[in-house]
């Protein structure tokens, strides 16, 4: 027994559907597992979710790394859909046709980047409520941020001004890759729109030309030419009859 796709099977919608599932998984991890939020002014991310209740720092680190990877994969997936359409409308090739540049950039997005982030997430610096003494905070700032320096919260440093570690370099690599793949997806999209616009313009020109020719065929023959055609028909009745039957 063989299974064949339906006649209205859309490969683009198939990829988009599973991208939405992956995006939903990222939202679940960020909103339920860690309840992460950014603390402005301190360059910290906080955790107040299930992983914090379990008192498991490694769980929080893995979930944060997963959220970073989901974000870049969703962006790369959208660019990949534009590549598939670009292959159809511009390259006039198969859906999965890729150049050397495409292979390199998508390999970084879907393989190298996620592995690098997962392999180095153990270096993510963690702070507990008791570490508040290590921060130089004004009294006014302390009133704003004191809720985050309690045992119910775990703070994860975003290394911007501090010394960079291997996890920082992995995140920087992912950010640069995400910018490149985002610009690549925009390039594919603009080329597709331009190709569709050109095809629409050519179709309109062809349609107008065909209609003009049709109108010319519908015009009545001039009187002189009609009399000549009738004279030819009387001189050769057989040909006139054949033309009539045709």
At 118-143, the pLDDT tens digits run 988 888 777 765 555 556 666 666 67
* Average pLDDT over the chain, rounded to an integer: 76
| CA nearest neighbour of 148 among 163, 162, 129 | 129
**pLDDT score of 104 more than 60:** yes
Let me know if 224 is exposed, middle or buried by CB neighbors in 10 A (0-12, 13-18, 19+): exposed
Banded model confidence at residue 196, pLDDT cuts 50, 70, 90? confident
**pLDDT score of 3 more than 70:** no
- The residue with greater pLDDT, 94 or 14, is 94
**pLDDT score of 107 more than 90:** yes
- The residue with greater pLDDT, 29 or 163, is 29
Q: At residue 44, what are phi and psi to the nearest 5 degrees?
A: -130, 150
pLDDT for residue 160: 58
Banded model confidence at residue 200, pLDDT cuts 50, 70, 90? confident
Banded model confidence at residue 245, pLDDT cuts 50, 70, 90? very low
pLDDT for residue 23: 82
Distance CA 153, CA 145 (A): 11
Cα 202 to Cα 85, 92, 100, distances in angstroms? 20, 17, 32
Banded model confidence at residue 180, pLDDT cuts 50, 70, 90? very high
Distance CA 65, CA 72 (A): 11
Banded model confidence at residue 94, pLDDT cuts 50, 70, 90? confident
At 137-168, the pLDDT tens digits run 666 666 777 777 777 777 777 665 556 778 88
- The residue with greater pLDDT, 111 or 42, is 111
Report the share of the chain in percent with pLDDT over 70: 67
pLDDT for residue 29: 86
Among 23-27, 32-36, 69-73, 127-131, whose mean pLDDT is lowest? 127-131
Tell whether the torsion through CA atoms of 138, 140, 145 and 149 is positive or negative.
Answer: positive
């Amino acid at each position: 027994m063989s299974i064949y796709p339906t006649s209205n099977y859309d490969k683009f919608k198939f990829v988009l559907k599973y991208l939405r599932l992956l995006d939903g998984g990222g939202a679940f991890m960020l909103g339920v597992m860690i309840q992460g939020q950014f603390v402005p002014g301190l360059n910290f991310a906080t955790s107040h979710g299930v992983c914090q209740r379990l008192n498991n720092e490694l769980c929080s680190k893995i979930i944060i790394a997963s959220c970073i990877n989901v974000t870049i994969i969703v962006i790369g997936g959208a660019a990949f859909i534009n590549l598939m359409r670009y292959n159809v409308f511009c390259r006039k090739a198969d859906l999965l046709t890729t150049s050397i540049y495409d292979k390199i950039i998508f390999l970084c997005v879907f393989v190298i980047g996620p592995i690098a982030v997962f392999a180095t997430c153990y270096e993510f610096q963690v702070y507990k409520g008791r570490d508040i003494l290590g921060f130089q905070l004004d009294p006014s700032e302390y009133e704003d941020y004191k809720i985050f320096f309690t045992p119910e919260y775990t703070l994860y440093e975003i290394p911007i001004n501090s010394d960079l570690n291997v996890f920082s370099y992995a995140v920087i690599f992912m950010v640069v890759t995400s910018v490149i793949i985002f610009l690549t997806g925009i390039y594919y999209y603009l080329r597709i729109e331009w190709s569709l616009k050109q095809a629409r313009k050519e179709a309109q020109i062809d349609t107008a030309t065909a209609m003009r020719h049709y109108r010319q065929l519908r015009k009545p023959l001039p009187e002189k030419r009609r009399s000549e055609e009738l004279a030819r028909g009387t001189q050769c009745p057989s040909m006139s009859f054949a033309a009539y039957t045709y």
